[in-house]
Amino acid sequence: MIELSSGALRARVLPYGAVLQSLEIGGVNVVLGLDEPADYRTRSRYFGAVVGRYANRIAAGRFTLDGTAYQLPVNNGANSLHGGTEGFDKQDWTIAASSPHSVTLSLTSPDGDQGYPGRLTATVTYTLDGDALRLAYTAVTDAPTVVNLTNHTYFNLAGGGDIRDHVLQMDAHRYLPVDEGKIPTGELAPVRGTPFDFTAPVAIGQRYGAAYDHCFVLDGRIRVVEPGSGLAMEVTTTEPGVQFYAGGMLDPAATPYGPFSGFCLETQHFPDSPNRPHFPTTVLRPGERVESSTTYRFTR
């Protein structure tokens, strides 16, 4: 376990899954985590983990790259989710560098890992800077592949209870409609006049039964406010999208948490991009380097 501090924030990070186990503000933990590191191997719903090699869903676990077809493990209905059955969230990352306020973790995924081509080396750096947590990712490969890294932290700015009264605002004027398997239809649909319009502040539970598990096309920042304490979280990212999941499928029989105990804002490329040429590309080639970052800033 690695402990980080900036004065305003305190965090714990685990090498297993590169997990953000806790993030405390004024002594209140605002993320969902498991008390025992061993529990992440059996009871986790990706709590705080870095997911990959490809975050989110790939239809039927299949894609074609440079004329070669690849088959991935299917672990979410008919589709592949978060890199497959043994994705990056289930790997022991190596501590590459650390300081009192920052840690860099590294993972090498061999050619053929979970069906993906190329030997991929990925890093994630957690940095606490005053009232902000910054995550920075890199990846390189020795053969053409696809990559989409994100962090799957569940937030609860009240430190417990139901998150449906949290107020969300996203500078996102389009979202990705999905089919029954939660695979994008390919359309980038306008949010105006739909339950997916968060361009003005709206309580998470106010519409759609809070059954959100959708990718939004980001045009700017995200802001969430917990009305009881007034704690606000502002999210900025270099990524083109964010998967907003309201936690409606959390199962207290399998984890310590019930539905709507936390929400996710998974900054990332779009789901199923390897099968959607009009989406921003997730192809990585030798000699190239993926670099992305996301910052979570907390204020009252």
pLDDT digits (tens, 9 = 90+) for 183-203: 999 999 999 999 999 999 999
**Residue 39 CB neighbours (<10 A):** 14
First and final CA of the chain: distance in angstroms? 29
The pLDDT, as a whole number, for residue 19 is 98
Measure Cα distances from 223 to 38, 43, 168 in Å. 33, 29, 6
Please state, rounded to an integer, the average pLDDT across all residues of the chain: 97
Query: Residue 274 corresponds to which amino acid?
Result: P
- 254 or 119: which leads in pLDDT: 119
CATH architecture of the domain formed by 2-160+243-299: Distorted Sandwich (2.70)
Nearest to 196 by CA among 181, 176, 180: 176
Helix/strand/coil for 5: strand
Residues serving a catalytic function are: 152, 266
Rounded CA gap, 214 and 263, in Å? 12
* Residue with token string 């670099």: 291
**pLDDT grade for 32, boundaries at 50, 70 and 90:** very high
Give counts: helices (H), strands (E), the chain: 0, 27
Q: 86: number of CA atoms within 13 Å, CB side?
A: 9
The pTM for the full model equals 0.97
Domain ranges of the chain: 2-160+243-299
Q: Categorize the per-residue pLDDT at 69 as very low, low, confident or very high, splitting at 50, 70 and 90.
A: very high
The pLDDT assigned to 134 comes to 98
Q: Among the residues of the chain, which ranges form H helices? A: none
Q: Quote the CA–CA distance of 61 and 103 in Å, as a whole number.
A: 33
Residue type present at position 45: R
**Cα 66 to Cα 61: distance, rounded to the nearest angstrom:** 17
What is the full DSSP assignment across 193-216? TSTT--SS-EEGGGSGGG--EEEE
pLDDT attached to residue 173: 98
8 secondary structure, DSSP code: S
Contact 226, 263 (CB under 8 A): no
Check residue 54 and give its pLDDT: 98
